[in-house]
Amino acid sequence: MEYSEEMMVDASPEEEVSESESESDSEFGSEEEDEGTEDYRRGGYHPVNIGDYFKSEKTRYRIEKKLGWGHFSTVWLARDTNSEQLYALKIQKSAEDYIEAAFDEISLFKDVLKYSDGNEVPVVKFIDAFKHSGPHGIHICMVFELLSDNLYTLVQLYEYQGIPRPLLKKYAKQMLLGLDHLHRKCGIIHTDLKPENILLTAEHQLPKLYEGDPRAPPKPVVNDGVISKSKKKRLRKKAKNMGGSQIKNSSNASICESKKILTKNQKRRLRKKKKAVEKMESVEANTTEEDMSEKTEESQEVEVESEPKKGRRRIKYSEEVLSELAQKLEDSRVKISDLGNGCWIRKRFTDDITTHEYRSPEIILGASWGTPVDIWSLGCIMFEIATGDILFKPKKCEDSDDSFDDNDDHLAQMIELIGKISRKFSMSGKKSKRYFSRHGELKNIDSLTYWGLEDIMKEKYGWSEEDAKPFADFLTRMLQLNPVHRESAFQLLEHEWLE
């Protein structure tokens, strides 16, 4: 099928796709990790304590529990004191870039509501937004309906063996309905679909994955004027980046030679860096070896105290418990969450999108992209929740005889699974020449082993042909190398496998 112009956008020549993974902001972080303390500073996270209030002279939303965190924000369970309703309160970092991203996310969610015409859609419901002033700056806060665990948690509960087939079909249909609403009705591209961003509705709380309680929310670091070695390194690096020689001699002629006039903010930052460097040098000069030894012992003690609880272990449930869970989830629903990396079809913020494992070939090549990037990601998600395995796990190889990067390996894995790539598409991106010859052949990997989806489902996972064939066909319609050949969410909803 052909996609219309409004469903695809050209990769802007000024914006290069980063080789690293895009920084995703899943609304719920890992249960075993926290966001650390380093970003609890000016421009970073807002320090939150259980019992704190937000909005309407700080008396409206009361914090009851930490739900998770992401690169952009922390997320908290909050009770609306007006209605006693529980919500998820997302508190964005306070730096200007994060504030702008929050405003964009709010606009996206308002469009989701606008085009739902009051009907329930499989996308998390936006409730409220407001500003909150804290010690680290102004933070944008967003209130959402309270949802439950994500699909990755469900995959873990079933010991990476795949979730029950009835749930697989149910969730596939709901995810497609959510994407159809975003793509066709709202003109929105999610750009970061993955199991962590697909959440169960609140009435279906999953069993605990770990014994013991999760870590308490981190508090801002107070180091009583003692600068750690890592902090010193960062200060030196920042001072160098800001022009260390210019800090020590503000009249340096190089400023005039480059004809750059510093703004007030730049001058203030330079003064701040200069003071930091002077403080660092002063501490180094006045600290004796005995003092350093004492500080080292103190820091070691703190590190031991702040270690995660050793008693937190994965809980393994019996087959009987998991069978009962499947029955309880028969009427469950899932919703797409986290539009923090989303964009409109006609207004895009960056070409650096999607977590690596779920990234489509056109993004790697720097080619035109649009709503089909979400369809590709959904195909990867479906395989993962059906089998427990990630579909593509690209790795780089640095052997002298056989060297290639993770993007080379990713493209090779795609071709091995789906089949040969057309020369026209392989050469369609700004980065095509890095990976493909002018004949459309991979430059850095020449030994491929083809293994199709249907054979994989039968031979590796033991599915019968009756089950494997329609499921593989369903995935293949999503996992087309050329995005114009991928079916839309609206079309996929008619697939026989979903019946």
Interatomic CA distance for residues 426 and 441, integer angstroms: 8
C-alpha 193/C-alpha 176 separation (Å) is 12
Specify whether the CB–CB gap between 210 and 32 falls below 8 A: yes
Helix (H) or strand (E) holding 92: strand 86-92
Give how far Cα 241 sits from Cα of 237, 268, 455, Å.
6, 15, 54
User: Alpha carbon of 371 to those of 138, 154, 392, 428: distances in Å?
Assistant: 33, 27, 20, 18
Known active-site residue 291 = no
Q: What tokens does 448 get?
A: 């491929």
How would you classify residue 464: left for phi > 0, otherwise alpha for psi between -120 and 50, otherwise beta?
A: beta
Backbone angles phi, psi at 14, to 5 degrees: -75, -25
Nearest to 431 by CA among 411, 403, 402, 401: 411
Question: Do 349 and 343 contact (CB within 8 A), yes or no?
Answer: yes
Among the listed residues 192, 338, 351, 408, the single catalytic one is 192
CA dihedral of 321, 322, 327, 331, whole degrees rounded to 10: 120
Secondary structure, 3-state, 411-462: HHHHHHHHCCCCHHHHCCCCCHHHHECCCCCECCCCCCCCCCHHHHHHHCCC
Distance of alpha carbon 337 from alpha carbon 386, whole angstroms? 20
Token couple for 331: 């009427």
Residue 301 contacts by C-beta under 8 Å, 6 or more apart in sequence? none
Burial of residue 457, with CB atoms counted within 10 A of its CB: 0-12 exposed, 13-18 middle, 19 or more buried: buried
DSSP string, 134-193: ETTEEEEEEEEE-EEEEHHHHHHHTTTS---HHHHHHHHHHHHHHHHIIIIIT-EE----
SS3 content of the chain, % helix, strand, coil (to 5): 40, 15, 45
Name, in order, each residue with C-beta under 8 angstroms of 437's C-beta and a sequence gap of 6 or more.
Answer: 443
3-state secondary structure of 463: coil
Q: How far is Cα 499 from Cα 497, in angstroms, rounded to an integer?
A: 6
Contact 195, 385 (CB under 8 A): yes
Tokens of 45: 């996270």
Active-site residues, by number, are: 192
